[in-house]
């Protein structure tokens, strides 16, 4: 009747159960495009206050989601450096201090 624990574990750990990386990128791009659309609509003078508030709330949520995804991506970025012996070493990415963020 119920799946055995190993069967459940196999389903949870199967490649199909994991979210593929390209989907995250597509999700980010879609969220960013929607955020830009929300901003354009908020700049419209014909917008009612109620509609503007709904769009503003959606925009804040989208902005936070995009920021979170960007922070996660930044945490995964690694620069590969070749050591003198030819081996590659992964180092965490550290943005230059002169960059505007």
Burial of 34 (0-12, 13-18, 19+ CB in 10 A): middle
pLDDT, tens digit, 9 for 90 and up, residues 47-64: 999 999 999 999 999 999
Mean pLDDT of 17-25: 59
Strand partners, 33: none
In this predicted structure, the answer to whether residue 18 has a pLDDT above a threshold of 70 is no
- Rounded Cα distance, 47 and 59, in Å: 15
The structure tokens listed for 46 are 């014909």
**CATH class of residue range 19-92:** mainly alpha
pTM exceeding 0.85: no
Q: Which residue has tokens 């989208």?
A: 62
């Amino acid at each position: 009747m119920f799946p055995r624990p190993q069967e459940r574990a196999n389903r949870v750990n199967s490649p199909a159960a994991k979210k593929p990386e390209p989907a995250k990128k597509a999700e980010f791009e879609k969220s960013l495009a929607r955020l830009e659309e929300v901003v354009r609509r908020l700049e419209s003078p014909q917008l009612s206050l109620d509609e503007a508030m709904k769009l503003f709330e959606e925009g804040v949520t989208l902005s936070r989601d995009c920021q979170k995804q960007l922070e996660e991506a930044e945490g995964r970025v690694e620069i590969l450096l070749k050591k003198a012996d030819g081996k590659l070493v992964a180092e965490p990415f550290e943005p230059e201090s002169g960059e505007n963020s």
